Structure formats: C-alpha cells, structure tokens
Copies of this chain bind each other. A is one copy, B any other.
Amino acid sequence: MYVNDILSMIEKQRDEVEKELLLNLDSDVQMVNEVASYVFESGGKRLRPVFLILSSLLCGYDGYRTAALSGVVEYIHTATLLHDDVIDGAMYRRGRKSANTVFGNDITVLCGDFLYSRAFMNLVKDGNPEIQMTLAVAARTMSEGEVFQLIKTADIKITMDDYLKIINSKTAILFSSCCEIGALLGGQSVDKRAALRDFGRNLGIAFQMSDDILDYLGDEAKTGKKPGTDLKEGKITLPVIVLLENAAEEEKVKVREIIVNENSDEENLNYIIDLMKKYDVKRKSEEILDRYSAKAKENLKLFPENKYREALESLADYMIKREK
C-alpha cells in the first residue's frame, strides 16, 4: 500500500486531529497560543496520530475519542520537542526556526509545560484510567530517558543495551502508547493490547535506528541534514556502536578519542564516516534494525488481514525505508 493511499484512507480522521490540535490553544495569555500555533502550523508528519488512528480502526473503533487522544499524544510529543530544543540549543525544527530561536528559551520551556498540562486536562476529560496510566508512564519514561541520554553524552562505554534504553524512551514508548490506545479504544483482549503495544515499540525502535543511521550515512541531498549532528552533540548511536564492534584496535582508539574530546570537526567526521564505509556499518546496522521491523510485523499477525493491518505494515516499511 502506498503512503498516499494510506493517508487518503484516514483523511477524515487526520483532519479532525488538526482541528483538535488548534482547538485547545485557548489560553487567555495570547503568547501561549502564539507559540503553540507556531509549532503546530509548521507542519510535522503527525506520525503518532496516524498510528493511533490506524490502530483504533484495526480494533474496530472510529469515534470522536481518536482525535481527542491523538491531540493529547501530539501535545506530549511537542512538549518534549520544545524542551529538547531548549536543551540542545537547536536553531531549527522542521525546516524553520525553532520556537526557542523565535520566542526565547524561557517562554519555550513554559509553553512546553502548558502543552503538558493541556494534554493532562484532555486525558482527564477522556476519563479512561488505563489510557491515562499508559500515557503517564510514557511521559515519565520519556523524561527519564532524556536524562539518561544526557548522562551518557560522549560516554564511549555506552552499551547496546544503554542505546536501546535511550531510543525506547525517546521514541518507541510513545509510538507504543499510540498503538496500545487503539486497542483500548476498541476494547480488545489483553493479548491484542500487548501485541499492538509491542508493534508500536518495535516499530519505534526501528524508526529511531533508521534515523540514527541516516545521521551518519544518509545522503545529504535527500535527508536535507548535514551528516554528523549526533556526533557534534556527543550522542553515541547505533552506527558508532556497530563501528566500535568492528574496527581495528588503533582505529577504535582514535574514534573514542574523537568522541571523548567532542572533537567533531569535518576531518574527524570524515574519518569516522570513511571507517563506517570500510566496515560496512550501514548494512550491519540495517540488519539490526530489520530484526525490529520484522518483529513489529510479526506482532500484527494476531489481527485479521484487512486494509488497516496492511496499512500499518506498509507504514512500518515506509518509515524505515525513507531516504535510503
């Protein structure tokens, strides 16, 4: 199934999510609405809502709660983006100036807090304790994961397990929650709920790994990003971990030195990228990623073969194949 066909199939629901996102920006402090509108009107793929919508439809639910809860998830996601951009000092987001660049760090942190509280209000309105707890745990895991990632900055002793923990927190848990919410809205069995939760997690892990591979080994013309951003920020991701597993001892020493000293000039970046090419790091990383992607599709087998399942499967492929 092509992405455009999938998006057309859920056009009505996606429109409702867009309305929902702007509907709640009802602060009597105009600046709050202004910052939030700036962020939401700058687009973004609304991937999490798409997964929530499709999971709900797969589980037989197509009511108004889908848009409301998609809004909640997107508010939580956006709150974390706002806080992350402040923390990373990011200048740009989605191809235009980041909120912190335009409005300053102070207001951006507070607008993140506003979106958290707005998400929380709408979750209380929805009233389902299981959905509430799913997202409360996700929010908690996300903030813990960010702290963990900060601690592990430029730490060359980072393990594959540490890396998985970080990407589970920063990406996979919220995808996982979206898919699980679909099952909860559809009143599905414990088994199916767990299957969709696992689908979302595996998919989220594969998605983040794909992003991390592209950061070093993507084609700048296609990704639109300069390679090596993660290296600059001291984030040690899959390609570096795979490289360190494969490189010769003296190469490892040099790579570690570059990372520890946060010395990511062009020469050093090119040195690392060349090593990655030498050791076929892209293919090796993609093999790891493919395992998660395959697991994700396996998780869907519990569900009947219909267009929604097919859409979720196709989307899982699309998300990790982009820009390859």
CB of A117 within 8 A of CB of B143, answer: yes
Q: Which residues of B contact A112 (CB under 8 A)?
A: 113
Q: Which residues of B contact A145 (CB under 8 A)?
A: 29
Name the prevailing secondary structure of the A interface residues: helix
Task: Tell me the residues in window 86-137 of chain A with beta carbons closer than 8 Å to chain B beta carbons.
Answer: 86-87, 105-107, 109-114, 116-118, 120-121, 124-125, 127, 129, 132-133, 136-137
- Confirm or deny: A151 has a beta carbon within 8 angstroms of a beta carbon on chain B: yes
- Confirm or deny: A279 has a beta carbon within 8 angstroms of a beta carbon on chain B: no
Q: Which residues of B contact A144 (CB under 8 A)?
A: 27-29, 32, 114
CB of A136 within 8 A of CB of B117, answer: yes
Shortest Cβ distance from A139 into B: residue: B117
CB of B117 within 8 A of CB of A147, answer: no
B-facing mask of A180-198, CB < 8 A → 1, else 0? 0000000000000000000
Q: Which residues of B contact A106 (CB under 8 A)?
A: 87, 150
B-facing mask of A71-82, CB < 8 A → 1, else 0? 000000001100
Q: Which residues of B contact A111 (CB under 8 A)?
A: 143, 147
CB of B129 within 8 A of CB of A127, answer: yes
Could you tell me the distance between the alpha carbons of A142 and B118 in the complex, rounded to whole angstroms?
12
B-facing mask of A146-157, CB < 8 A → 1, else 0? 111011000000
CB of B83 within 8 A of CB of A109, answer: yes
B-facing mask of A25-57, CB < 8 A → 1, else 0? 001110110000000000000000000000000
Shortest Cβ distance from A116 into B: residue: B116
Q: Which residues of B contact A117 (CB under 8 A)?
A: 136, 139-140, 142-143
Could you tell me the distance between the alpha carbons of A140 and B147 in the complex, rounded to whole angstroms?
24
Q: Which residues of B contact A27 (CB under 8 A)?
A: 140, 144
Could you tell me the distance between the alpha carbons of A127 and B128 in the complex, rounded to whole angstroms?
10
Could you tell me the distance between the alpha carbons of A263 and B201 in the complex, rounded to whole angstroms?
54
Shortest beta-carbon distance from A141 to chain B in Å: 8
CB of B136 within 8 A of CB of A121, answer: yes
- Contacts A121-B137, A129-B127, A136-B124: A110 and B150 contacting too (C-beta < 8 A)? yes
26 contacts between A and B (CB under 8 A): A27-B144, A29-B147, A31-B147, A31-B148, A32-B143, A79-B113, A83-B110, A83-B113, A87-B105, A87-B106, A109-B109, A110-B150, A111-B143, A113-B139, A114-B143, A117-B139, A117-B142, A117-B143, A120-B132, A121-B136, A121-B137, A121-B140, A124-B129, A124-B132, A124-B136, A127-B129
